[in-house]
Amino acid sequence: MAITRRYSKKREAIYNALAATCEHPSAECLYQKLKPEYPDLSLATVYRNLKEMVAMGDAICVGTIDGKERFDACSHPHAHLMCRGCGTVLDMELGSAWLAHCRETEDKHTFAIDPYGLHFTGLCRQCMEAAQAN
């Protein structure tokens, strides 16, 4: 059964705000950004729409950082670099060799790999420099 969605100005604004940034924002961040333009927007509305976008494949949840889920509207296969120091999330492009390896692994194990689920955790340049300064 196909899920149909009625048009919603708020849903469109939430998606556009998510798609316009590469910061992988939390629902709270999107809420704060949109609240001035949509005074009747609730945090629950943002969460509900993000959950629906993830279910429909329009967005992904890249993980929980500092207790907050972070989201991405990028639709092509890629991985994420996650800084355990400051919480920054960066996109990491997957080369053709990596994607070919994923396909081979899928075939070998009869397992569908989600390339968005690949996360590398470490420290960004600023956090490494701050750690070395101390």
51 and 92 both lie in a single domain: no
Q: Residues near 66 by Cβ (< 8 Å), separated by ≥ 6?
A: 87
82 and 60 both lie in a single domain: no
Confidence (pLDDT) at 17: 98
> What pLDDT, in 10s, does the model give residues 14-66?
999 999 999 999 999 999 999 999 999 999 999 999 999 999 989 999 989 88
Evaluate if pTM is beyond 0.85: no
Helices (H) and strands (E) in the chain, counts: 5, 5
8 and 70 both lie in a single domain: yes
Query: Does position 3 have pLDDT exceeding 90, yes or no?
Result: no
Kindly indicate the confidence band of residue 116, based on its pLDDT and cuts at 50, 70 and 90.
Answer: low
Kindly indicate the confidence band of residue 4, based on its pLDDT and cuts at 50, 70 and 90.
Answer: low
> What's the total number of domains in the chain?
2
- Over the range 28-55, which residues count as b (16 or more CB within 10 Å of their CB) and which as e? ebbbebbeeeeeebeeebbbebbebbee
Are residues 108 and 124 in contact, defined by beta-carbon separation less than 8 angstroms? no
88 and 101 both lie in a single domain: yes
